[in-house]
């Protein structure tokens, strides 16, 4: 039996997006109320009559009816979307107009339109992502707060400010205008990248929510690529990156849910269909002369995905790719990841040298994986006391239970060798 | 054996889809249990929360009842049971009771005594 809250996450975004096109962006709240109402009715009616054979269709019909009720009720008090204002206010044409809005052809672009509207560069990135999660992915304030390990009050404020901004902008983004589309696309890709990263690397201990964030990001980027203006090299590269990372999600934690070291991940759990999809998208993204950070990150992920075991990874290729990434998007974290790759390719001593050469390395203080990397190199060099110190420092900076457990395990790997002969 | 109408009054409406899912699940479980034991004659329907009230010999039609009123009837079910005591026992499992609502159990008037 279908879960009502799953259905909400799957269907509500599309319904809100379509209703907003009829009601107008300034009436986004009304659109959300109508959809909430439809789901409330579903809970009541299905309690008596059971879940219908096609729940999504039932919900859509109910949403249409409630929309017509809302249009009648609010006719004198509000204005609606300018393009349909007179049509929906007339008894003769209201029903046909709503029907037309919900036709398969019309609905297709609604989600994209809403996505692009939310990714207004005048809004802070985290606000754009929160709006997408709330409006298009059907996540509640509580669910978003849990995913970001933030307070509900903070998320509530962020979302309501964002929605006020949208209401004041009055017009949905026009996805049919090629120049505007191209100009807005980088914002959209960035928001989806952040959404995916939150799911993949995020601090929330709830692995269910995290996988869902990744899935949502992939679903939305697929919609972007489907649009004639959307299958740009950058978009395809981002989609490829998501496929490669998502493919490796199953192996990233062990059966107990603990984060696994790259060397210890069970690669048999990797999703090879997703890897194939990523490879195809990466090829598609290679058309033209645009190289973005997404291209490079996707290529790095591809190298990992190609290796049947950590020992077979082409680390030199990865170092070369990180050189590229540093050129496009210099940052201490990228430099750190490059140093780790160098260590794999040329030995831990070289890794230590690379890390100490990182400019503005002080920006990494508080980042647990800086100390953890130093710990790994010292461990590999047999310097267990030094390794232990670094892992303890890393542990002090751990941001959640997953990281703590992972670092405890690394610490434990240093300890047995400390008994007996002292080696420094 | 008699027939009884269960009238569901009040009860907090679900706030979120997750809440809605839980409430729906509980109703379905309770009704299924009644059906399995052969008590359900008609599962019934939910009712819109407000409508019209016709009074005073038909001269007055007003809007009502009001959704905010505490004991608005939200739905009904028709069951069969040995007697009103058993019917009331069966009604104890209704999920509306956990949400501040109540179940009114009314015997259908029999034709013979």
Question: What six digits make up the tokens of B97?
Answer: 């009771």
Who wins on pLDDT, A139 or A256? A139
Taking only the tens place, the pLDDT of each residue in A74-85 is 999 999 999 899
Here the contacts of A315-321 (C-beta below 8 Å, separation 24 or greater) are A315/A341, A315/A344, A315/A345, A316/A345, A318/A344, A318/A345, A319/A345, A321/A296
Residue B40 bridge partners (DSSP): B79
Q: Is the pLDDT assigned to residue A24 strictly greater than 80?
A: yes
**Residues of chain B contacting A37 with CB distance shorter than 8 Å:** none
End-to-end CA distance of chain A: 61
Pick from B41, B10, B46: nearest CA to B27: B46
Determine the Cα angle at A22 with ends A18 and A26, to 5°: 100
pLDDT of residue A208: 61
CB contacts < 8 Å between A and B, how many?
51
pLDDT of residue A106: 81
User: Per the CB < 8 Å rule, is A47 touching B13?
Assistant: no
User: Per the CB < 8 Å rule, is B14 touching A138?
Assistant: no
pLDDT of residue A344: 92
Most confident of A5-9, A262-266, B79-83: B79-83
A208 lies within 8 A of chain B by CB:
no
User: Per the CB < 8 Å rule, is B43 touching A5?
Assistant: no
End-to-end CA distance of chain B: 12
Taking only the tens place, the pLDDT of each residue in A291-338 is 999 999 999 999 999 998 888 899 999 999 999 999 999 999 999 999
B43 lies within 8 A of chain A by CB:
yes
Chain B: nearest CA to A76, how far in angstroms? 20
pLDDT of residue A403: 82
Q: Taking all residues of chain A, what is their mean pLDDT, rounded to a whole number?
A: 90
A199 lies within 8 A of chain B by CB:
no
Q: What are phi and psi of B2, to 5 degrees?
A: -140, 170
- For residue A48, give the nearest of B13, B23, B44 by CB distance: B44
A4 lies within 8 A of chain B by CB:
yes
User: Per the CB < 8 Å rule, is B18 touching A5?
Assistant: yes
**Residues of chain B contacting A144 with CB distance shorter than 8 Å:** none
Provide the chain A residues 267-286 that lie in CB contact (below 8 A) with chain B.
Answer: none
User: Per the CB < 8 Å rule, is A47 touching B27?
Assistant: yes
User: Per the CB < 8 Å rule, is A40 touching B13?
Assistant: yes
Average pLDDT on A15-32 reads: 96
Q: What is the residue-wise DSSP string for A23-39?
A: H-GGGHHHHHHHHHHHH
Q: What is the pTM of this model?
A: 0.86
For the ranges A123-132, A165-174, A195-204, A283-292, the lowest mean pLDDT is seen at A195-204
Confidence of residue A159 (pLDDT cuts 50, 70, 90): very high
Confidence of residue A351 (pLDDT cuts 50, 70, 90): very high
3-class state of residue A232 by DSSP:
coil
Chain A: nearest CA to B53, how far in angstroms? 20
- For residue A8, give the nearest of B17, B24, B27 by CB distance: B17
Longest dimension (CA), chain B: 48
- Measure the CA–CA gap between A118 and A132, rounded to whole angstroms: 7
A146 lies within 8 A of chain B by CB:
no
Closest CA in chain B for residue A4:
B21
The strand pair at B73-81 and B40-46 is best described as antiparallel
B99 lies within 8 A of chain A by CB:
no
- Measure the CA–CA gap between A318 and A326, rounded to whole angstroms: 12
3-state SS string for chain B: CEEEEEEEEECCCCCCHHHHHHHHHHHHHHHHHHHHCCCEEEEEEECCCCEEEEEHHHCEEEEECCCCCCCCEEEEEEEEECCHHHHHHHHCCCHHHHHCEEEEEEECCCCCC
What lies within 8 Å, CB to CB, of A372 at 6+ separation is A390, A391, A394, A407, A410
3-class state of residue A256 by DSSP:
coil
The strand pair at B73-81 and B2-10 is best described as antiparallel
A48 lies within 8 A of chain B by CB:
yes
**Residues of chain B contacting A5 with CB distance shorter than 8 Å:** 16-18, 20-21
Average pLDDT on A342-365 reads: 91
Pick from A206, A16, A253: nearest CA to A113: A16
pLDDT of residue A366: 82
- Measure the CA–CA gap between A404 and A418, rounded to whole angstroms: 22
Q: What are phi and psi of A261, to 5 degrees?
A: -60, 145
User: Per the CB < 8 Å rule, is B75 touching A49?
Assistant: no
Q: Are A184 and A112 in contact (CB under 8 A)?
A: no
């Amino acid at each position: 039996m279908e879960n009502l809250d799953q259905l909400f996450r799957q269907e509500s975004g599309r319904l809100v997006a379509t209703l907003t096109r009829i009601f107008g962006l300034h009436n986004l709240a009304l659109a959300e109320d109508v959809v909430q109402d439809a789901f409330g009715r579903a809970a009541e009616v299905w309690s008596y009559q059971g879940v219908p054979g096609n729940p999504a269709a039932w919900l859509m019909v109910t949403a249409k009816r409630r929309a017509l009720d809302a249009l009648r009720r609010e006719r004198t008090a509000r204005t609606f979307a300018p393009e349909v204002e007179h049509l929906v206010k007339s008894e003769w044409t209201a029903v046909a107009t709503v029907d037309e809005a919900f036709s398969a052809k019309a609905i297709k672009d609604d989600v994209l339109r809403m996505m692009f509207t939310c990714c207004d560069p005048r809004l802070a990135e985290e606000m754009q992502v929160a709006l997408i999660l709330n409006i298009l992915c059907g996540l509640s304030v509580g669910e978003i707060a849990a995913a970001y390990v933030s307070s509900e009050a903070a998320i509530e404020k962020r979302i309501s400010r964002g929605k006020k901004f949208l209401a004041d902008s009055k017009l949905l983004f026009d996805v049919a205008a090629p120049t505007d589309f191209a100009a807005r696309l980088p914002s959209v890709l960035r928001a989806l990248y952040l959404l995916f990263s939150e799911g993949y690397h995020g601090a929330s201990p709830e692995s269910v929510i995290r996988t869902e964030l990744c899935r949502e990001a992939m679903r939305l980027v697929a919609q972007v690529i489907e649009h004639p203006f959307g299958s740009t090299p950058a978009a395809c590269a981002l989609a490829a990156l998501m496929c490669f990372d998502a493919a490796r999600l199953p192996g990233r934690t062990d059966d107990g849910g603990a984060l696994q070291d790259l060397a210890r991940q069970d690669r048999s759990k990797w999703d090879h269909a997703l890897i194939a999809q990523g490879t195809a998208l990466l090829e598609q993204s290679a058309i033209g002369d645009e190289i973005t950070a997404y291209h490079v990150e996707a290529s790095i992920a591809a190298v990992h995905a190609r290796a049947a075991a950590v020992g077979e990874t082409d680390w030199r290729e990865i170092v070369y790719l990180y050189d590229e990434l540093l050129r496009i998007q210099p940052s201490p974290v990228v430099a750190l990841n490059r140093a780790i790759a160098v260590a794999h390719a040329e030995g831990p001593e070289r890794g230590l040298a690379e890390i100490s050469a990182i400019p503005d390395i002080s920006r990494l203080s508080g980042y647990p994986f800086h100390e953890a990397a130093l710990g790994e190199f010292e461990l590999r060099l047999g310097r267990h006391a030094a390794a232990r110190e670094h892992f303890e420092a890393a542990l002090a900076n751990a941001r959640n239970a997953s990281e703590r457990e992972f670092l405890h395990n690394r610490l434990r790997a240093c300890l047995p060798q400390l008994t007996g002969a002292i080696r420094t | 054996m008699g027939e009884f109408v269960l009238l569901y009054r009040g009860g907090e409406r679900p706030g979120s889809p997750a809440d809605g899912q839980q409430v729906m699940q509980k109703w379905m479980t309770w009704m299924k249990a009644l059906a399995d034991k052969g008590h359900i004659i008609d599962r019934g329907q939910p009712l819109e929360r407000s409508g019209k009230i016709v009074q005073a010999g038909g001269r007055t039609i007003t809007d009502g009842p009001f959704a905010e009123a505490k004991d608005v009837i939200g739905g009904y079910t028709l069951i069969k049971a040995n007697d009103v005591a058993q019917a009331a026992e069966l009604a104890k499992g209704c999920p509306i009771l956990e949400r501040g609502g109540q179940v009114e159990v009314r015997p259908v008037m029999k034709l013979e005594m």
